[in-house]
Homo-oligomer: A and B are copies of this chain.
Amino acid sequence: MKGGPTVVVPHEGGPLRVALLGCGVVGTEVVRLLTTQAEDLAARVGAPLELVGIVVRDLRVEFDPVVDRALLTADAEGLVERADVVIEVMGGIEPARSLLLRAIAAGASVVTANKALLAEDGPTLYRAADEAGVDLYFEAAVAGAIPIVRPVRESLAGDRVRRVLGIVNGTTNYVLDRMATEGLDLDIAVKEAQQLGFAEADPTADVEGFDAAAKAAILASLAFHTRVSLDDVAREGISGITADDVSWAAQTGHVIKLLAVAERFDDGVSVRVHPTLVPREHPLAGVHGAFNAVFVEAEAAGELMFYGRGAGGRPTASAVLGDVVSAARHRVLGGKGPIESSYADLPVLPPSAGLSRFQLRLDVTDQPGVLAQVALVLAEHAVSIETVRQAPLAGRGGKKLAHLVISTHLAPVAALSATVDALGELEVVDHVTSVMRVEGA
């Protein structure tokens, strides 16, 4: 926020030149919207938008008929230097980063949907755009079509965000939803998602939470005005979630969601992605299928939720075009959008920071006094029990076992792993089956 005021020089007549980097599913839909909505877009911007070139990797492949082949080029460097607004939907770190920096240096405003790049090196781009006095917009990078970047960085600019809980990966939400509603096993649900085109052939980025972690980093940076990169995000995917976990969640009034959590404490912020138990009455519990939603708790505004499609060519293109209109309007009318500022510069705390509710499930010997022993271990670690539920269990290896489901009050997260270790050492504890955070209770 230092340096003198920067004003983009108003555009002097004529159409605004738009360059498109990438022409896959999203890029094609961007072209379609630019074409079919041209008149509305011109009215909203105050000048027509002219697509002057599309960078593609391979000129020989087939494109949707809406794509004018005469605009295709492999000369990305040349193209970005003669554009007013550059749209990047190619993905990946390079050459996307170099091209965006070159565009910015040449005075273009840029719009990107590239979450990986922003999570890895957002601050470099923010700084470059700030110094050049151009806009950098990225609504499509966080939750597809859902307007979340603009609300958090603008609508809540007069408030203080305490916590963000996001379902920001449609693949895993689809998988968990199918497990919950149909009782499917994880691998069956993943296969189904692949067949429906919700999951990639290699689903690792989704299933292991990498995609959600990149979005968590961007969300946390925005919400807390602090630099958070992908490396700062504690990450656990859903590959360990069993049909049994899902069933127990339901029996205790919860659903399991893979949440991106960004939380502000007095001494810093915590940013993480993990499977989470969400009470059935919570608005996030009602987010089904491949939909996304971001739940925001702010000091004055209270609870807010933003819901919609988090992926897909057309929804993502809608978010991109909204950004293009904002950036283009600034070229026409002068001014610029908000500047990313990490003025707050809060430290990113380890995932063991703060307090959380937990649900623990353990198999124990079915004999009197077991609960007392387990409760004592929890008490010794300052973990206070809210409810205990005991269920008989088919015996294993000749032992008569019972299943304990323990919900805790808010407990210090740092104490949890020691507690679980201590429980595991009890002779009466056969096995700690699951330890999961509860959010939104």
Q: Which of A213-221, A240-248, A322-330 contacts B (4 or more CB under 8 A)?
A: A322-330
A368 at the interface (CB under 8 A from B): no
Complex-state Cα separation, A305 to B295, whole angstroms? 12
Question: Which residues in B have their C-beta under 8 angstroms from that of A303?
Answer: 308-309
CA distance A43 to B341 in the complex (A): 9
A304 close to B1 (CB less than 8 A)? no
Binds B, one of A157-165, A200-208, A261-269, A429-437: A157-165
A286 within 8 A of B: yes
Please encode chain A, from 295 to 335, with 1 for each CB lying within 8 Å of some chain B CB and 0 for all others. Answer: 00011111111111100101101111111111001101111
The proximity string for A residues 109-149 relative to B, scoring 1 for CB distances below 8 Å and 0 otherwise, is 00000000000000000000000000000010000011100
Given contacts A283-B286, A286-B286, are A37 and B158 in contact (CB under 8 A)? yes
Inside 8 A of A336's CB, which chain B residues have their CB? 333-335
In the complex, A7 has a CB within 8 A of chain B: yes
Q: Is there an interface contact between A322 and B156, defined as CB atoms closer than 8 Å?
A: yes
Interface contact B155-A322, CB-CB below 8 Å: yes
20 contacts between A and B (CB under 8 A): A5-B10, A6-B334, A7-B333, A33-B159, A37-B159, A41-B158, A147-B155, A155-B319, A157-B326, A301-B309, A302-B312, A304-B307, A305-B305, A305-B307, A306-B307, A307-B307, A326-B338, A334-B334, A335-B335, A335-B336
Instruction: State which of B150, B325, B338 has its C-beta within 8 Å of the C-beta of A329.
Output: B338
Contact pick for A300, options B8, B40, B318, CB 8 Å = B318
CA A334 to CA B41, docked complex, whole Å = 23
* Contact call B7/A7, Cβ cutoff below 8 A: yes
Whether A154 and B7, one on each chain, are in contact in the complex, defined by CB atoms closer than 8 angstroms, is no
Those 3 A-B pairs whose CB atoms lie nearest each other, nearest first: A335-B335, A158-B321, A147-B155
Contact of A43 among B1, B40, B304, B317 (CB under 8 A): B1
Is A301 within 8 A of B286, CB to CB? no
Q: How many copies of this chain sit in the oligomeric assembly?
A: 2
| A225 partner, pick from B43, B145, B298, B314, beta carbons under 8 A | B43
In the complex, A14 has a CB within 8 A of chain B: no
Bound together, the chains give a CA A325 to CA B155 distance in angstroms of 9
Whether A308 lies near B300 (C-beta < 8 A) is no
Give the chain B neighbours of A308 by CB distance below 8 A: 301-305
Collect the chain B residues with CB atoms within 8 Å of residue A318's CB.
156, 158-159, 298-301
Q: Is the pair B46, A322 in contact by a Cβ cutoff of 8 Å?
A: no
Q: Is the CB of B322 within 8 A of A157?
A: yes
Question: Besides A8-B335, A147-B156, A158-B325, 14 other CB < 8 A contacts?
Answer: A33-B300, A37-B160, A44-B157, A44-B341, A150-B150, A154-B322, A300-B315, A300-B317, A300-B321, A301-B315, A302-B309, A305-B305, A330-B335, A335-B335
- The verdict on A151 contacting chain B, using a C-beta distance below 8 Å, is yes
Knowing A305-B308, A309-B303, say if A334 contacts B158 (CB, 8 Å).
no
CB-nearest residue of chain B to A300 = B318
Q: In the bound complex, how far is the Cα of B304 from the Cα of A305, in angstroms?
A: 11
A145 and B333: CB pair below 8 A? no
Tell me whether A7 and B5 are in contact in the complex, defined as CB-CB below 8 angstroms, given that A139-B155, A156-B318 are known contacts. Answer: no
